[in-house]
Structure formats: structure tokens, C-alpha cells
Structure 1
Amino acid sequence: MITFIEGFNKGLLDSITETINNNKFNLIPFESIKFLSPIPYPRRNVFCLGKNYIDHANEIQSIPGGGNSIPKNPIYFSKVAYPCMGTEDIILNHIEITNEMDYEVELAIIIGKKGKNIPQENARDYIFGYTIGNDISVRNIQLKHIQWFKGKSLDSCCSIGPYIVTDEEISFPPNLDIKCIINGEIRQNSNTSKLIFDIPTILHDLSQGMTLYPGDIILTGTPSGVGFGFNPPKTLNSGDIIECEIEGIGTLINYLE
């Protein structure tokens, strides 16, 4: 997929569309397809933004390490995702070290071309498309180490999918309903228009002095309703069904081991 993204252009998209429309194929039934993660092995860590919805920033103020203010500048961290899990995959419960597995639905940006010091007004030119991310977080590990890297990077703790929707299919900046549903209960319910730092700001700021490459994945932050934001917390239990939905993209489904 990364090689495809590197060579992608509007002409290629038009050619693919024309081929599909003008030829008869022996189609495979949708329900018989297993969708793998669109980028199972990213070339670099996944870039993430913390506290990028006001309601989420407010809900974690009482959590140790959560801070007590709305950020004035983007908060970045990264997570190892090797591999990224795909839809219908099982997330390991890591029961030997935690009982505080948490979910975070996020809009994921897939970078389409190499860029550094990207101007805000040209940000869209660097986007290949969008997908859904579930930034699985291990809260006790996250709080133990103060910084977030370790608690975000355990095996299987990043899921993206079910597929990438190209930039042409999504309005810019994206104005999409975003939800996370646990065992049928809606926990997170917001809209990507409520990002504190919007996508042009993110790409401009993140790329200052640091080159972004095709296939890079950026998780743009999660809205309120994470398990650790409830009193008492509603973190995940073995067997839970996690459905992350974003309007115009689809539903990313995972199961906790």
C-alpha cells in the first residue's frame, strides 16, 4: 500500500475507476472478504495528537498526568504499531500487566507525498486519504511512566481500517460524525469539526523541521467518552466488542481477547 501511495495521482485514480466501470469482473461477495489493515507495517511510528478535543481535554483533567488546561499548542506523541491491527482483529488483553485497557476512536490522516514545512493553505495537497484509528491505551502503564509512549505501544494496541478513503471522497476540512460503541453502548459521539487543532494546523506544525513521508499515519485525537473518563472508569473487559465509526469511512470493529 505504501508503494501504491507513493505512485498515486489523480490520473491513476481515473484509470482505475474507468477500468472498474467498463469491464465485467467475476466479483467476490463482500461478506466473504477479510479486510486486512490497510497499512499493517508502517515505516515509522504512528504520529498521535493528545487532548485535541475540548471535551476530552476536560474529562481527563482529574486523571493523574491528564493536566488541567486546554492545550495552546498541539501535543504530540508516537506509538509503535508493528503491526497495525485491522478490522475484525483481536486486541490482546495483556492481562498479566493490566486491567485498564481503554479505547479511543480517532480520524487518521494518511500522508500522500513527502513534505516539510508544509504551508497551511497547501495542507490538503499532502493528504492521500483518511481511515479510522483506535488508539488503544493501557492506562496504568501510561500513568506509571508519566509520558504516554509505553502505555500506547503494547502489542496490538493500534488498529486502523477498515480501509482508506481517498481525499477526493471527503470534504475538506473533514466534517464527519465520529463514534465509539462498546457492546452496543455509544460511549463517544462527536464530530471531527470540533478538533482544537484542525488538519491544516496539524500538518503545518508537525512538519516544521521534520519531513513527512508517503504512508505516514497521523491520529488526530479522540473526543470525550473514553473509558477512563467515567466515574467509576469503564475500561475494557475480555470479550468486549469495540466499534469505531466515522461518517463516510465506515466501521472499524475489534474484539478484546
Structure 2
Amino acid sequence: MSPVASSSSANWTRLVRFIAAEDSSEHLGQPCDSEVDVGLAIEAGTEVKVFEIIATSPWDPLAYINLNKTFTIQKILSPLSRSQTGTIRATGLSYKDHADEMGLSYPLYPVEFFKPESSLNDPNANVTVPLICQTDSVDWEVELAVVIGKECKDVNEEDALDYVLGYTVANDITDRKLQASNSQWCHAKGMDNFCPLGPTLVSSRALPNPHVLKLSTHVNGVQKQNGSADVMIFPLAKVVSFLSQGCTLSPGTVIITGTPPGIGVSMTPSEWLKDGDQVRCFISHGLGTLVSNVVYQKKAVAQTNGH
């Protein structure tokens, strides 16, 4: 079998997409401080400086870091736009310890569902909970997100990770009552802005073994989830390979890959996200902290004509 080319020859290792304070325009960049947790820094109001990345897209093989040009992040954006991701792929029941806490058997194959592109949301942004979901049923799920870097179809497991551009953090926000009411999960997980993503996309070259990653979730400062990608039921190479069979995964495709234990529905009593809550989803090795603020959509107020 002939070798598969790397998904990118670009020299960046931690990519962010952002609005710059200097010109109020959108750019790609790499944090000047290789250790900074971009999400936490933005939340704290700390200035985050980045080197400009010259590229037409995050997967541009000719992308390079311009060390002579820096910007200050005014607003952090998801690493990819909705037009770049398209429909978001997702797998569920992916961790052995999560399946164990739910009392469920391990699946024979990855369990796939979809989240519409309209569910994509920025880091450090509000998650607006619509009226239909304001029934004590909205849950958190920290997830490792895989971003495809080149066209991927019918690949085998041995080569699958060669098609991965990088990894970032996702929160697969879910309405559990809607999920239980339907055999398909798309509605319960596909509300507008129910997939915060980011803040940092770490290159697969800098992270050759994604199963070393540690994941956690804090809600209002209290830890809820604490897991490791090394207890996934299916290796990520199998997940990418399986999803590519007979189906083209285009560059920019995002695959969110399931959650470790500690979700709200599994607690006794169950816990749910409330108006005003803050969720912090963290993944190690430079992916950083995805901060989301929960805001309930307001009910419409009846108008009168004053007569």
C-alpha cells in the first residue's frame, strides 16, 4: 500500500480563529504564548497575543506563521466556521466508563448521529436555551472533536489518522427529555448553538496519539466530569475509518467523539443546566478550556394597544 500524505504540511501547532482588536477583522493565528489557555485567558479579560497565520483555510497545506505580525484577540471564534464544517458528525456511547455508569452494553460499532451546522457555537459565548428545552433537562457533555484535513473516503484504520488535521474541544449540549422521546437524537442535540467548539485547534502533528488526552467539565466551578481518551470503546482511528466507509468526509468535517462519565442525567438526583450557569470543558495538551454561559431564551411578553 502506498503511503498516505500528511493532512497538512503547515507549520502551525495551535490554531485559533478570532476577531482582531487592531482591525475588527477575522484572522487565523497561533498564540504567542505556547502555554496559555486561551479560553480561560479570554474569560479573565487577559490580553491574548497571537502570531498571524497566513492561510486560505485551517487545512491550507501552504499555511505558515508570520512571526513579524501579531494581533490581539478581541473575540475568540470557533476554529472553523459553519460553512467550513457543514453538518457535524457525532458518535455516542464512546467511553467504557460512561457506558458502565449508564448501565448500557458496549456497542458493536460506533453509534453515529448528526448535529446541524446551525448548532455550531463560539467559545466564551452564550448558549441560548430555547423555550422547548426549559424543562429541567439540558445536560453537558465534554467531547474530543476531530477535524478532518483532507478528503477522506473508504480509508482503513491503519491510515485513518493521517487524514486528521487536528483536535479541539466540544460540548455536546443535549436536552435529555427530547432525547428520550425520539429514537433519533438530532433534535435533542441539534438546537441552535448547542455545539460550542474550540478555542484552540491542536495539530495532529503535535499530538500523534490523541488517546493520551484528559477531559473534564466544571459547572459553576464544581467538577462534574473527569475522564481519559484512553478508555474509549473504539480507537479514534476506527471511528474515522468507520465513518468514511462509503461516505466522503470533506476537509473541515468535525467529528465529536462521545463523552466520559459525569453527565447530569447520571447523577442522583439528576442535575441540569440552569439560566446563568457557566460550563467549562477542558482537554489537556494545549486544547484548553471551552467556556460557555447558559442563557435562557426569554418568553415573549404579550403586547396591548392601551385601549
78-87 or 122-131, which moves further after superposition?
78-87
Partner of 1:166: 203
Match of 1:234 in 2: 271
Q: Which deviates more, 227-236 or 77-86?
A: 77-86
What residue in structure 2 maps to residue 77 of structure 1?
Answer: 113
Aligned length: 239
Q: Counterpart in 1 of 2:41?
A: none
Structure with the bigger RCO (C-alpha within 8 Å, sep 6+) is 1
Deviation at 1:97, TM superposition (A): 3.9
**3-state DSSP of counterpart to 1:161:** coil
TM superposition shift of 1:174: 3.3
- Residue by residue, what CA displacement relative to the aligned partner does 1:189-242 show, whole Å, maximum 9, x if unpaired? 011111111111011111111111100000011000001110111111111110
- Residues 163, 173 of structure 1: CA spacing in aligned structure 2 closer, same or farther, 3 A cutoff? closer
Q: Deviations over 1:81-108 (max 9, x none)?
A: 3151111110012244432111100000
- Percent identity between the two aligned chains: 33
- Alignment partner, residue 116 of structure 1: 153
Residues 110 and 128 of structure 1 are in contact (CA less than 8 Å); yes or no, is this contact kept in structure 2?
A: yes
**2:293 is the counterpart of 1:250:** no
The structure that has the greater radius of gyration is 2
Q: Structure 2 residue aligned with 1:57, among 93, 99, 108? A: 99
Report SS of the residue matched to 2:180. Answer: helix
- Report the 3-state secondary structure (helix = DSSP H, G, I; strand = E; otherwise coil) of the residue aligned with 2:187: helix
More helix by share: 1
Counterpart Cα distance in 2 of 1:202 and 1:185: 31
Q: Which structure has the highest strand share of the two?
A: 2
The AA in structure 2 aligned to 1:169 is: A
Partner residue, 2:187:
150
Counterpart position of 2:76: 35
After the TM superposition, which residues 88-237 of structure 1 pair with which residues of structure 2 at under 5 Å, given as runs?
88-98=124-134, 99-237=136-274
Q: Specify the code of the residue in structure 2 equivalent to 1:48.
A: A
Check whether the contact 2:133–2:175 (CA below 8 A) recurs between aligned residues. no
Query: What is the TM-score of this pair, normalised by structure 2?
Result: 0.73
Q: CA RMSD, aligned part only?
A: 1.8
Which runs of 5 or more residues in structure 1 are unaligned? 62-67
What corresponds to 2:89 in structure 1? 47
